[in-house]
Structure 1
Amino acid sequence: MSEPLLVPTPSTVTGELPDGLLTAFAGYEDALARNDLAALDAWFAPGENTLRGDATGLLVGHDAISGFRGARVGTVARGIRALHVRVLDPRHAVIMSVNTPDAGGAGLVTQLWSRSDDGAWQVEVAQVAAPPAAINATVWRLVGTPLVAASDDAGSGALSGETIAVKDLFDISGFTVGAGNPAYLREAVPATETAPAVAALLGAGASVRGIAQTDEFAYSIAGDNEHYGTPPNVRVPGALPGGSSSGPAAAVALGQASVGLATDTAGSIRVPASYQGLWGLRSTHGAVDRTGLLPLAPSFDTVGWLTRGPGVLRAAAAASLDPASQLPASQPNTPARFAVSRALVFAADDDVQDVFVTGVDRLTRAGLLPAPDLVDVGDLAEVLRIFRTLQSLEAWRANGDWVTAHPGALGIAVASRFEAAARINPADEAEARTALADARARLDAVLDGRILLLPSASSTAPSRRANPAAIDRARTNTLTLTCLAGIGGYPALSVPLFEAQGAPVGLCLVGPRHTDLALVDIGAELAAGN
Structure 2
Amino acid sequence: MPEPLVVPTPTSVTGALPDGLLTAFAGYEDALATNDLAALDAWFAPGENTLRGDAAGLLVGHDAISGFRGARSGTVARGIRSLHVRVIDPRHAVIVSVNAPDAGGAGLLTQLWSLSAAGDWQVEVAQVAAPPAAINPTVWRLVGNPLMAAAASGALAGETIAVKDLYDIIGFTVGAGNPAYLREASAATETAAAVAALLGAGASVRGIAQTDEFAYSIAGDNEHYGTPPNVRVPGGLPGGSSSGPAAAVALGQASIGLATDTAGSIRVPASYQGLWGLRSTHGAVDRAGLLPLAPSFDTVGWLTRTPGVLRAAAAASLDPSHQTSAAQADAPTRFAVSSALVFACDDDVQDVFVAGLDRLTRAGLLPAPDLVDVGDLAEALRIFRAIQMAEAWKSNGDWVTAHPGALGAAVAGRFEIASRTDPAAEAKARVALAAARERLDAVLDGRILLLPSASSTAPSRHANPAAIDATRTATLTLTSLAGIGGYPALSVPLFESRGKPVGLCLVGPRHTDLALIDIGAKLAAGR
Give TM-score, length-normalised by structure 1.
0.98
Residue 387 of structure 2 is matched in structure 1 by 390
How far 1:333 sits from its partner (Å)? 4.3
How far 1:125 sits from its partner (Å)? 0.3
Name which of 483, 505, 526 aligns with 1:486. 483
| Gapped regions of structure 1 (runs ≥ 5) | none
1:464 aligns with 2:464: no
Residue 112 of structure 1 is matched in structure 2 by 112
Q: Letter of the 2:370 partner, please give it.
A: D
Name which of 208, 214, 220 aligns with 1:223. 220
1:194 aligns with 2:188: no
Deviations, residues 198-255 of structure 1 (Å, cap 9, x unaligned): 0000000000000000000000000101100000001010000000000000000000
1:123-138 equivalences in 2 (<5 Å): 123-138=123-138
Cα distance between partner residues in 2 of 1:40 and 1:8: 18
Name which of 447, 450, 455 aligns with 1:450. 447
Higher alpha-carbon deviation: 7-16 or 122-131: 7-16
Cα distance between partner residues in 1 of 2:147 and 2:8: 43
Residue 428 of structure 2 is matched in structure 1 by 431
How far 1:331 sits from its partner (Å)? 3.7
Residues 1:172 and 1:7: Cα distance change in structure 2 (over 3 Å): farther
Q: Letter of the 2:415 partner, please give it.
A: F
Cα distance between partner residues in 1 of 2:319 and 2:290: 19
Deviations, residues 30-89 of structure 1 (Å, cap 9, x unaligned): 100100111100000000000000000000000000000011111111111110000100
How far 1:334 sits from its partner (Å)? 2.3
Secondary structure, counterpart of 1:514 in structure 2: coil
Secondary structure, counterpart of 2:234 in structure 1: coil
Deviations, residues 142-179 of structure 1 (Å, cap 9, x unaligned): 0011110000xx22x11000000000000000000000
Residue 252 of structure 2 is matched in structure 1 by 255
Cα distance between partner residues in 1 of 2:202 and 2:314: 13
1:86-101 equivalences in 2 (<5 Å): 86-101=86-101
Cα distance between partner residues in 2 of 1:523 and 1:351: 22
1:53 aligns with 2:50: no
Q: Any runs of at least 4 consecutive aligned residues in structure 1 with deviations exceeding 3 A, and if so which? A: 2-7
How far 1:437 sits from its partner (Å)? 0.2
Cα distance between partner residues in 2 of 1:65 and 1:167: 31
1:294-305 equivalences in 2 (<5 Å): 294-305=291-302
Q: Is the 8 A contact 2:169 2:191 kept in 1?
A: yes
Cα distance between partner residues in 2 of 1:292 and 1:425: 29
Cα distance between partner residues in 1 of 2:341 and 2:91: 53
Cα distance between partner residues in 2 of 1:332 and 1:303: 28
Name which of 367, 376, 379 aligns with 1:379. 376
The percent of aligned pairs where both chains have the same amino acid is 86
Q: Letter of the 1:471 partner, please give it.
A: I
1:242 aligns with 2:239: yes
Secondary structure, counterpart of 1:237 in structure 2: coil
Q: Is the 8 A contact 1:222 1:242 kept in 2?
A: yes
Residue 172 of structure 1 is matched in structure 2 by 169
Secondary structure, counterpart of 1:523 in structure 2: helix
Q: Letter of the 2:209 partner, please give it.
A: A
How far 1:5 sits from its partner (Å)? 4.7
How far 1:509 sits from its partner (Å)? 0.2
Cα distance between partner residues in 2 of 1:3 and 1:255: 42
Q: Letter of the 1:146 partner, please give it.
A: P
1:514 aligns with 2:511: yes
Deviations, residues 273-295 of structure 1 (Å, cap 9, x unaligned): 00000000000000000000000
Q: Is the 8 A contact 1:337 1:451 kept in 2?
A: yes
Q: Is the 8 A contact 1:57 1:236 kept in 2?
A: yes
Matched positions, count:
526
Q: Letter of the 1:256 partner, please give it.
A: Q
How far 1:332 sits from its partner (Å)? 5.1
Deviations, residues 371-418 of structure 1 (Å, cap 9, x unaligned): 111110000000000000000010011011111111111111111111
Residues 1:131 and 1:403: Cα distance change in structure 2 (over 3 Å): same
1:160 aligns with 2:157: yes
Name which of 303, 325, 329 aligns with 1:328. 325
How far 1:8 sits from its partner (Å)? 2.8
Cα distance between partner residues in 2 of 1:3 and 1:116: 19
Q: Is the 8 A contact 2:8 2:26 kept in 1?
A: no
1:37-48 equivalences in 2 (<5 Å): 37-48=37-48
Secondary structure, counterpart of 1:423 in structure 2: coil
Cα distance between partner residues in 2 of 1:109 and 1:335: 56
Name which of 493, 500, 505 aligns with 1:503. 500
Cα distance between partner residues in 1 of 2:227 and 2:237: 7
Q: Is the 8 A contact 1:85 1:96 kept in 2?
A: yes
1:355-374 equivalences in 2 (<5 Å): 355-374=352-371
Residues 1:3 and 1:187: Cα distance change in structure 2 (over 3 Å): farther
Residue 102 of structure 1 is matched in structure 2 by 102
Residue 9 of structure 1 is matched in structure 2 by 9
Secondary structure, counterpart of 1:126 in structure 2: strand
How far 1:118 sits from its partner (Å)? 2.0
Q: Is the 8 A contact 2:4 2:23 kept in 1?
A: no
Cα distance between partner residues in 2 of 1:343 and 1:192: 47
Q: Letter of the 1:34 partner, please give it.
A: T
Cα distance between partner residues in 1 of 2:493 and 2:438: 30
